[in-house]
């Protein structure tokens, strides 16, 4: 009987000693040696449902099946880069030190035209067309001509849009997939806009157009922080300088190029610099006025909820509480919505 091809998230639900077959893109590949000096490989396979870290031991066989006729290859000396290619994998769920470990026993490089790698990359679940429409609707909603014109020029005249629309919002933790930056920026903008309207009704002076603009711009530095081919990785400058400072630098160049009003530039620049809300989280300054406080709050909520969603997807029933998560200093619970 032919073995069923599983998605990555389905493989993660299997129990010890289960065999599996899956198809995905090799996101990361590292050659190692064991204690006996035998070569093995750390391999990360990814599809639209997630990533799977596994081991291809020295006994594993690698096959090139691109032309229809299979022949064995050495992934380190085959004349082409295996990382980033679509592969079929046969494997077994093992146990190592009371933890499940995924052993890849056979790896087949398949026809890349029939199985394009782009089809196996994680994408925003909301869909590209929906996200692009929502982003443009938010700009159209802005009443101030100077802000609307600035945003249209930054994203569409000066070329940010080509990458912004497909970039991830993070290496891991939240919105770490194609379209994640666009999804996160829209979500923060919508949440911040509604929060601003709420406090405006309670007589807090707030410029809703500045809130929307600041939210759409707050993470533009991530365009300089990450690589996305074949997998999401952090550039050296993303580690050393970090996206907040990179984003502020990018923004100020655009502000000067577009001759943006100096007070408006200072306000939007401050939103970018302060959006993490705390200096220990990377913000050089703390939010100091209503629009900045609102964007920072919306960003924090969106990060935490998307991180919670990812943790719940990885939580294996009957467990309903995660391990302790140092990044956010807590555990996550499934909550009543999952009951």
Q: What is the pLDDT along the chain (339 residues), one digit of tens a residue?
A: 467 999 998 999 899 999 999 999 998 899 999 989 999 999 999 888 888 999 999 999 999 988 777 899 999 888 888 888 999 999 999 988 778 899 999 999 999 889 988 888 888 889 899 999 999 999 999 999 999 999 999 999 998 999 999 999 887 778 888 899 999 999 999 999 999 999 999 999 999 999 999 999 999 999 999 888 766 778 889 889 999 999 999 999 999 999 999 999 999 999 999 999 998 888 999 999 999 999 999 999 999 999 998 888 777 778 889 999 988 899 999 998 765
The whole-number pLDDT of residue 222 equals: 95
SS3 198: helix
25: domain range?
5-120
Tokens 């530039």: give the residue.
Answer: 265
Say if strands 99-109 and 50-56 run parallel, antiparallel, or are unpaired: parallel
| CB neighbour list of residue 128: distance below 8 Å, 6 or more residues apart | 165, 179
The whole-number pLDDT of residue 1 equals: 44
Please provide residue 14's backbone torsions phi and psi, each rounded to the nearest 5 degrees.
-75, 155
Q: Indicate if 155 and 82 belong to the same structural domain.
A: no
What are 169's two structure tokens?
Answer: 């919002």
Structural domain includes residue 22: yes
Structural domain includes residue 100: yes
Q: How far is CA 292 from CA 248, 267, 287, in A?
A: 14, 8, 5
Q: Indicate if 155 and 94 belong to the same structural domain.
A: no
Task: Supply the CATH number for residue 36's domain.
Answer: 2.40.50.140
Domain end, chosen from 120, 138, 158, is at: 120
**How far apart (Å, rounded) are the C-alpha atoms in residues 90 and 65?**
14
Domain count, the chain: 2
Domain end, chosen from 120, 137, 167, is at: 120
Q: Indicate if 158 and 49 belong to the same structural domain.
A: no
| CB neighbour list of residue 326: distance below 8 Å, 6 or more residues apart | none
Q: Indicate if 107 and 143 belong to the same structural domain.
A: no
Q: Indicate if 174 and 232 belong to the same structural domain.
A: yes
Q: Indicate if 261 and 113 belong to the same structural domain.
A: no
Domain end, chosen from 77, 101, 120, is at: 120
């Amino acid at each position: 009987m032919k073995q069923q091809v599983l998605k990555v998230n389905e493989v993660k639900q299997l129990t010890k000693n289960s065999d599996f077959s899956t198809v995905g893109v090799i996101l990361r590949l590292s050659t190692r040696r064991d204690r006996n000096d035998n070569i093995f490989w750390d391999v990360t396979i990814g599809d639209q449902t997630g990533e799977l870290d596994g081991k291809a031991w020295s006994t594993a066989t690698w096959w090139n099946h691109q032309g229809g006729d299979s022949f064995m290859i050495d992934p380190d000396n085959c004349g082409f880069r295996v990382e980033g290619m679509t592969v079929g994998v046969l494997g077994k769920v093992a146990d190592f030190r009371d933890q499940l470990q995924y052993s890849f026993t056979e790896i087949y490089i398949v026809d890349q035209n029939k199985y394009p790698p782009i089809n196996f990359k994680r994408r925003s679940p909301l869909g590209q067309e929906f996200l692009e429409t929502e982003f443009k609707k938010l700009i159209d909603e802005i009443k101030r001509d100077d802000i609307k014109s600035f945003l249209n020029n930054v994203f569409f005249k000066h070329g940010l849009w080509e990458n912004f629309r497909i970039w991830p919002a993070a290496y891991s933790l939240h919105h770490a997939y194609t379209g994640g930056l666009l999804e996160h920026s829209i979500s923060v903008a919508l949440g911040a806009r509604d929060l601003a309207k709420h406090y405006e009704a309670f007589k807090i002076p707030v410029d809703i157009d500045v809130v929307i603009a600041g939210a759409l711009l707050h993470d533009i530095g991530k365009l300089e922080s990450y690589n996305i081919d074949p997998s999401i990785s952090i550039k050296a400058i993303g580690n050393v300088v970090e996206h907040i400072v990179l984003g502020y630098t990018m923004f100020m160049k655009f502000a000067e190029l577009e001759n943006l009003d100096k007070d408006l530039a200072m306000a939007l620049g401050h939103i970018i610099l302060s959006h993490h809300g705390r200096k220990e989280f990377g913000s050089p300054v703390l939010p100091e006025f209503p629009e900045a406080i609102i964007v920072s709050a919306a960003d924090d909520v969106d990060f935490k909820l998307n991180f919670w969603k990812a943790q719940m997807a990885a939580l294996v029933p009957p467990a309903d509480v995660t391990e302790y998560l140092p990044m956010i200093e807590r555990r996550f619970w499934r909550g009543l919505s999952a009951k």
